[in-house]
Amino acid sequence: MYEIDGILTPYFSETDPEKRLIILDKMPDNEALDFIREVYEDRYSDHEKKGRKNVDWWLWRCICLQLLYGRGSFFIFRAFKRHEINAILNELRMNDNDDFHIRILYHEYRNTARRYLSTCKSSGYASSFMGFKQADDKEKIYRACQDIWQMSKGIAISESLEIQNKMKVWINAFHDELMDYDDICRDEYERLDRN
């Protein structure tokens, strides 16, 4: 459904922005290159203009989606929450309907999810009691499943059908990346869906 030219695979497999740029620069001319470069610039630029380097704006927006999922939706604030979610979806180009772009975006979304998941193996992740009790590998995987679900399907199903449709590619990309992460993720994802 989201197949791309095999030449692009190394670029979408790499999560380090600098290495990705090197791969991108070495890539022979092809029809996708301009759009990929545009997405790259968009993803790794400092949208808040605080003069920061090493910004992964899309990763930050993932985290924001998860934070918005956790935020209560008291009816007065529901409109503000929806407005913010829509702004994030636009920044993540989820309103792009071009088939070719969607395929590229799917892989970029998967790359974002992969970068998030790469942080879920660190020693401090999912630790409790002020970092004194470190989580074991299984706990980390469960927590990673929960995070990925919340920043994709969780936030979508808590909102309108329109948002759910907009997020379809995003949800698929995050789901597929999670399924490649560990075998137990499938059951956990389904459990989260049921709850």
Q: Tell me the three-class secondary structure of the chain, residue by residue.
A: CCCCCHHHHHHHHCCCHHHHHHHHHHCCCCCCHHHHHHHHHHHCCCCCCCCCCCCCHHHHHHHHHHHHHHCCCCHHHHHHHHHHHHHHHHHCCCCCCCHHHHHHHHHHHHHHHHHHHHHHHCCCCCCECCCCECCCHHHHHHHHHHHHHHHHHHHHHCCCHHHHHHCHHHHHHHHHHHHHHCCCHHHHHHHHHHC
- Which listed residue (128, 160, 165, 186) binds another protein by CB under 8 A? 128
Residue 193 in contact with another protein, rule: CB under 8 A:
no
Residue (7 or 67) nearer to another protein, CB: 67
Rounded to the nearest whole angstrom, what is the least distance from the CB of residue 64 to another protein in the complex?
7
Residue (8 or 59) nearer to another protein, CB: 59
Site for another protein in 50-109 (CB under 8 A): 52, 54-57, 59-60, 62-64, 66-67, 70, 72-74
Cα–Cα distance for residue pair 89/95, rounded to 1 Å: 7
How many chain residues bind another protein (CB under 8 A)?
Answer: 39
Rounded to the nearest whole angstrom, what is the least distance from the CB of residue 142 to another protein in the complex?
5
Residue 48 in contact with another protein, rule: CB under 8 A:
yes
Amino acid at 56: D
Rounded to the nearest whole angstrom, what is the least distance from the CB of residue 98 to another protein in the complex?
27
Residue 147 in contact with another protein, rule: CB under 8 A:
yes
Q: List contacts with another protein (CB under 8 A).
A: 46, 48, 52, 54-57, 59-60, 62-64, 66-67, 70, 72-74, 115-116, 119-120, 122, 124-132, 139, 142-143, 146-147, 157, 195
